Structure 1
Amino acid sequence: MSSQLTVAYERFEQLGNEALRLLPGLGIAIAVFVVFLVLARWTRTAVQHLNARRFQHNLVIVLGRMAQWGIILLGLLLAITIAFPSFTPANLISALGITGIAIGFAFKDIFENFLAGILILINEPFRIGDQIIFGAFEGTVEKIETRATMIRTYDGRLVVIPNAELFKGSFIVNTAFPSRRLEYDVTIGNGDDIAVAKEAMLGVLARLPGIEPAPAPDALVLGYAANGVTIRIRWWIKPPRRADALDIRDEVLCAVKAELTRNGIDLPYPTHQVLLHDQTEPADGNRLRQREGWPPQPDQPGK
């Protein structure tokens, strides 16, 4: 029993001596790590300040945080090598290499969205405040994070779209350019004068405020149909936001209808003619004499 106590005492004494031997290095390592923490915070502020005018706000924040964590990681590796001289960064890298594969498989979607978010923030296909269409969703970009992009729909709902889907998919940016073209198809009667209808509609587009004079509005004949002639009117607006587009579209359609009516231009709609067979005629059943629809006339067979 006494021999076991002696062995235990010697073991504890050895551990104590080892701890005392590592204590100076541990103190220096802690001091070095604290210095790197301060340096990391200063680096984040400097990176954000230098890039504030070059990139959008979210990307500036991400770049600052990445620089900060890079400095912290470097300080941690240096502090570990100072505190434990036998432990080298190569040992840590080899250990991280094994666990990194497992982490990569487990968090594949997270890393993919993070990488896609960084690329979106760098390439800037759209910015906060832009109005975009992605699949069945349309709205204003409220926030671009490293994991997802958030848009606010026009009816006040929030849509969260993973950045990987947004980066790999196709989307429309309605506000990418300062102006935008709108169009509407108007059908006039087949007997109406096309030139008069065009002149009336272009006159309306030229008078309405909010329509850009250049490029000038135009009216194009698209084709003929049973119910009339289809003319497409096109005009440009600035800015290209949806609220402005809806307002000016309402003004255009109301004014065009009133002007066409004032000029005697018909606005037809599809109609169907139903012919009823009069089965009281003597010729009923005789396909050579039977007529479809109208009552028999005195000068026609079947009266």
Structure 2
Amino acid sequence: MAQVEHAVDADLSTTLSSLDGIVDWTMAFLPKFAIGGVVFLLFWGIGWAVRMGILRASARHPARNVGLVLGRLSQWGLRFLGLLVAVTIMFPSVKPVDLLGLLGIGSVAIGFAFKDILQNFLAGILILLRQPFRIGDQIVFKSFEGTVEGIETRTTVIKTYDGRRVFVPNGEIFTNAVTVNTAYGIRRSEHDVGVGYGDDVRRAAGVILDALRGVDGVRDDPPPEALAVELAGSTVNIRARWWTDARQHEVLRVRHDVIAAIKDQLGQAGIDLPFPTRVVLFHDQTEETDGDRRRQREGWPAGDDPPQPRTIAGVLKKTGPDGQEEEPARSIRPGGTPVGHTD
């Protein structure tokens, strides 16, 4: 019995000793943890301040995107440095060299796990540095067209013309073709106008050119043009080309005014804007086999006794006074039996 009590007392003393050790370690660690947390927050705030300072310094600079890149890289670099300093304060036995080695080993696994994120991040940095387009430019990417609202390190934000917001991964933008409509500040538009074959093409082109010059928003330099481009089935097509401000709203507004002005000017000049014309040929007016349904090729019933052909003239003659078509006369087989009659 005495041995059991002695064992219990030994276990209890060991447990209490362990608890005392944990409490002592915790009390010794708490100041280090607090100091490390304060240091990390300090570096976090310094990183934010550095980023804001760089952004303000480059806000009105042509290389604004470079400021965005430097600001973000500086912020994340200071945060990472603050994390290393905080860890070494909390755990004095851990050296920064050991942490860097551990991060080097873990970076391979992180790279595989976050491949797309890292790809978009690097593509975003390259886009900000190369500046293929800027914030406020109007671009076309695949089926999306609109104004660039922001260029982030992972995505590019586009506001479409119909008021929707699109987030496009930078990796896709960097590896695919992008059309920048506002890259040069001006943009050319064109529209084909068909005039009649009986009209003077040169005179019609001159009228169209005068109409272009009178529209507000059409630039004088480069000058507008009116060029004959096609002899179509019913019209001679003249292509009107003009330059405007590159913004989408201005392009559409000027196009409306241009089309209205061209129509009015051509009408006042007496130049025809013909409708499409079609010519329809009937089978019995094209070749000698038409009308003979034993020989023709257009898919009429074949055989020795096909239906009799009908001509336009014959149909017109058989139209009654009330405008209704009378029953056509039936053809008679040899022997007096009408075609279509069944016994």
Find the counterpart in structure 2 of residue 290 from structure 1: none
Compute the displacement of 1:200 (Å): 0.7
* 3-state SS in 2 of match to 1:53: coil
- Residue 234 in 1 paired to residue 261 in 2? no
Letter in 1 for 2:254: I
State how many pairs are aligned. 287
Query: CA 1:41/1:228 → structure 2, altered by over 3 Å: closer, same or farther?
Result: closer
- Residue 104 in 1 paired to residue 111 in 2? yes
- Residue 245 in 1 paired to residue 245 in 2? no
Find the counterpart in structure 1 of residue 169 from structure 2: 162
Structure 1 length normalisation: TM-score? 0.79
Instruction: Kindly provide the CA deviation profile for residues 220-257 of structure 1, in whole angstroms up to 9, marking residues without a partner as x.
Output: 221323322222111111x2111111111111111112
Query: CA 1:8/1:275 → structure 2, altered by over 3 Å: closer, same or farther?
Result: closer
Segments of structure 2 that go 5 or more residues without pairing to the other structure are 1-6, 296-310, 315-343
Does the aligned pair in 1 maintain the 2:192–2:238 contact within 8 Å? yes
Compute the displacement of 1:197 (Å): 0.7
Name which of 47, 54, 76 aligns with 1:47. 54
Letter in 2 for 1:244: E
- Residue 183 in 1 paired to residue 190 in 2? yes
Q: RCO higher in 1 or 2 (8 Å CA, sep ≥ 6)? A: 1
Distance in 2, Cα, partners of 1:36 & 1:17? 29
Greater radius of gyration (CA): 2
Does the aligned pair in 2 maintain the 1:192–1:265 contact within 8 Å? yes
* 3-state SS in 1 of match to 2:121: helix
Instruction: Kindly provide the CA deviation profile for residues 262-288 of structure 1, in whole angstroms up to 9, marking residues without a partner as x.
Output: 22222223311123448xxxx96499x
Name which of 138, 141, 146 aligns with 2:148. 141
Find the counterpart in structure 2 of residue 273 from structure 1: 279
Compute the displacement of 1:32 (Å): 4.6
Distance in 1, Cα, partners of 2:190 & 2:217? 15
Letter in 2 for 1:223: E
Which aligned pairs between 1:193-212 and structure 2 lie closer than 5 A?
A: 193-212=200-219
Letter in 1 for 2:280: V
Structure 2 length normalisation: TM-score? 0.71
Query: CA 1:96/1:252 → structure 2, altered by over 3 Å: closer, same or farther?
Result: same
* 3-state SS in 2 of match to 1:105: helix
Which aligned pairs between 1:54-93 and structure 2 lie closer than 5 A?
A: 54=61, 60=67, 63-93=70-100
Q: What is the alpha-carbon root mean square deviation over aligned residues?
A: 3.4
* 3-state SS in 2 of match to 1:167: helix
Does the aligned pair in 2 maintain the 1:47–1:67 contact within 8 Å? no
Name which of 129, 133, 138 aligns with 1:131. 138
Query: CA 1:38/1:190 → structure 2, altered by over 3 Å: closer, same or farther?
Result: closer
Does the aligned pair in 1 maintain the 2:68–2:128 contact within 8 Å? no
Compute the displacement of 1:170 (Å): 0.7
Greater displacement, 18-27 / 49-58? 18-27
Distance in 2, Cα, partners of 1:206 & 1:123? 38
* 3-state SS in 2 of match to 1:76: helix
Compute the displacement of 1:193 (Å): 0.9
Does the aligned pair in 1 maintain the 2:69–2:128 contact within 8 Å? no
- Residue 257 in 1 paired to residue 246 in 2? no
Distance in 1, Cα, partners of 2:117 & 2:159? 23
**Sequence identity percentage:** 44
